[in-house]
Structure 1
Amino acid sequence: MEDTYKHLDCTERAVIQVGLEQGHSLRSISQSLSRSVSTVSRELQRNHWKPPSSRSGRRGRRPVAGGYRATRAEHRARQLAHKPRKDKRLIPGNALWSKVVSLLQTGNSPEQVSGTLKRMHPKEPQFQISHETIYTAIYTMPRGELRKEVISLLRQSRKKRRPRSRGEDRRGSLPNMVSIHERPPEVDERLVPGHWEGDLIKGARNASAVGTLVERTSLFVALAKVDNGSAESAQKGFSYVLNRIDAQRRLSMTYDQGKEMACHEILSEKTGIKVYFADPHSPWQRGINENTNGLLRQYLPKSTDLSAFSQEELDQIALKLNARPRKSLDWKCPAEIFLPDFDFREYYGRILEPVALRT
């Protein structure tokens, strides 16, 4: 049996008719076709075939092959193949299409468009549509200016839609990984400082990278210069930065399953930090780090060659982020929570003093 199902063709239907005329069982017919018995059975039921048991006791001539005709079944299948089971709801020019395009033009994603329409038309199902249907309608449009125009409204504006992940991890597994699910409860509670989340952010054309670390309790950020995206380079960069921090404040690090962390055992040996790995395709398990990476893009844009930044320059960028008051910290800044010698008033006094002199 084939893994991918294919519809019966005219030759297979002819074999079914001949087998029935010769009195063969459905099982023997299905075996000769290398098909499932249920496939043959459904084909016969769709085409008004009468089994021998239902024909017993009736007068008149018995229908040949139980009434199944291959040519008639093939004609019916061709007609149904051209007729959609359901009319399309999202067609260029109809009212729903106009609403979807209008919302896309304001910068909304298809998922946001779907949510907005549900809120705006809670009692009008004809104006409610899933984001998958929107994507399908856009990417199945025939080639032309209208297709280009609508695709340009999407944030990525890709000519073809990428296939969705089915959950499998194609990157392979790192040696001796310790899962995030084995992490001590104190890490989740964020009461004890010293537990970090790590990642790499890439520069232009993914040709350069910078290591990012954020402490879960204080939101304190540390940046590591990484010569390239190799595991050895990442290990050296993270080791250098972590060893500048007191041993009591570098207890664990949670990372994704990127290949750059293949040397995690060497990292643990050099720094004493315990490395835990998040599940594949689960960025929310390192949400603090993901959010911090977004903030860092203000200073380290994707279009930049990140290899041009020295470790000293990265430290200055980290300081700017660590000195920002954070609402989640009751308007304290990460530096004054994590660094005992950081003076908040002195730091901002130097910034505000020139303004005071000009007034």
Structure 2
Amino acid sequence: MTYTHLTIDELTVIYNFWKSGTRAYTITNAVGRSNETIYKMYRWFNGGKSITDYLTLYRSNKSHCGRKRISLPNDEINYIKDKVNDGWQPDTIIGRADRSFSCCVRTLYRMFKRGDFGFSTKKLPMKGKRHPNGYVERRGKSGQLGISIHQREKDHPNYAQEFGHLEGDTVQGKNHLGAVTTLSERLTKVEIILNSHDKSAESVGRVLEQWFSSIPRHLFKSITFDNGKEFADWRNLANKFDINIYFAEVGAPNQRGLNENNNGLARRDGLSKNLDFRDLSDEFLQSVASRRNHIPRKSLGYLTPLEAFLKHVTDEQMKLFLT
């Protein structure tokens, strides 16, 4: 049974009854409190103490209630800050279990929310915020570009557990100047960033062809794009490299949720909205992708995407990567 403390209004009513000389047992129904509570307050007032004295004592006692905040050692604080600067999230820092901690994941998230020890949610991916599951984009829409995502379930019945399925999109720079093409492998979450320089169908098609020509054939089974016009040459890509290409429903980025999330993280890792993407170097883009691919992910059992990816690549395929 939950106990509710006396409010200032109740204290005032009891005080007025006491001051008027009303017997304590006669006001229990009027106040809605037990006899002992009323008698306790009468004894308080008989002792020459006031409502203000009672509230002051109550607040003092209340300040000692509840669990005391955890105080982390300096070495743990410094370790957490270093890992956050490397792009790790609190659940990854704790879950990776590279060392022991004095708190759990939920407590660490609360510390970030409160700003304890200099922690801040602004340093976390998505700044501690995210769209709810099932979020549907309401911005401008175009028509369906190619084969529907719903055909993918028929072609690949084991899609959710199968390696080799990509999600793709483009990310633009400041004032829509320049663009890069991004791909995310769904099972291992590895991120690939290709330097297309602009968002034209010709540039995006060319850079995708170059990349697929450089990797083992049939390593990837499908790609799911959004309906951007930059993917208009999808038939040529599908036929040339024998890969299935699908398109998410219009206005439903959640159907390519991994790629959307990785794009947001890439923004934080260097692909800022204030940056002109037309003249980015390949080395810079590789460093952005490498940073994300070396951060452990909870959904991968705290492996990094690169570690998870390499488990699905044979020695023979790896030789082709290195040639």
TM-score (norm 2): 0.50
- The alpha carbon displacement at 1:272 in A equals 2.3
From 231, 241, 244, give the equivalent of 1:261.
Answer: 231
Q: Taking structure 1 as reference, are residues 178 and 187 closer, same or farther at Cα in structure 2, changes over 3 Å only?
A: same
1:220 and 2:215 matched: no
From 200, 211, 214, give the equivalent of 2:181.
Answer: 211
Residue in 1 that maps onto 2:274: 303
Cα contact 2:197–2:280 (8 A) shared by 1: no
Q: Aligned partners of 1:272 and 1:182: how far apart in 2? A: 16
CA distances 1:173-196 after superposition (whole Å, capped 9, x unpaired): 43xx11000003647742111100
Residue in 2 that maps onto 1:178: 147
The runs of 5 or more residues in structure 1 that have no matched partner are 1-164, 343-359
- The alpha carbon displacement at 1:308 in A equals 2.3
- The alpha carbon displacement at 1:268 in A equals 1.4
Residue in 2 that maps onto 1:272: 242
Q: Which has the higher contact order (CA 8 A, sep 6+)?
A: 2
From 235, 241, 254, give the equivalent of 2:211.
Answer: 241
- The alpha carbon displacement at 1:267 in A equals 1.5
From 155, 165, 168, give the equivalent of 1:198.
Answer: 168
Task: Compare CA radii of gyration and give the structure with the larger one.
Answer: 1
Residue in 1 that maps onto 2:74: none
The runs of 5 or more residues in structure 2 that have no matched partner are 1-135, 314-323
Cα contact 1:195–1:249 (8 A) shared by 2: no
> After superposition, where does 1:67-216 map in structure 2 within 5 Å?
171-174=142-145, 177-184=146-153, 186=156, 189-216=159-186
Residue in 2 that maps onto 1:332: 303
Q: Aligned partners of 2:158 and 2:256: how far apart in 1? A: 11
Cα contact 2:137–2:253 (8 A) shared by 1: no
Give the letter for the 2:151 counterpart: E
Cα contact 2:218–2:242 (8 A) shared by 1: no
Residue in 2 that maps onto 1:282: 252
- The alpha carbon displacement at 1:318 in A equals 1.1
Q: Aligned partners of 2:247 and 2:184: how far apart in 1? A: 15
From 309, 314, 320, give the equivalent of 2:285.
Answer: 314
Q: Aligned partners of 2:279 and 2:259: how far apart in 1? A: 23
- The alpha carbon displacement at 1:241 in A equals 2.3
Q: Aligned partners of 1:341 and 1:288: how far apart in 2? A: 19
Partner SS, residue 218 of structure 2: helix
Kindly tell me the number of residue pairs found equivalent between the two proteins. Answer: 176
Q: Aligned partners of 1:234 and 1:188: how far apart in 2? A: 29
Cα contact 1:230–1:260 (8 A) shared by 2: yes
CA distances 1:98-142 after superposition (whole Å, capped 9, x unpaired): xxxxxxxxxxxxxxxxxxxxxxxxxxxxxxxxxxxxxxxxxxxxx
Give the letter for the 1:201 counterpart: V
Cα contact 1:197–1:254 (8 A) shared by 2: yes
CA distances 1:62-113 after superposition (whole Å, capped 9, x unpaired): xxxxxxxxxxxxxxxxxxxxxxxxxxxxxxxxxxxxxxxxxxxxxxxxxxxx
Q: Aligned partners of 1:245 and 1:220: how far apart in 2? A: 15
RMSD (CA atoms): 2.6
Q: Aligned partners of 1:195 and 1:233: how far apart in 2? A: 22
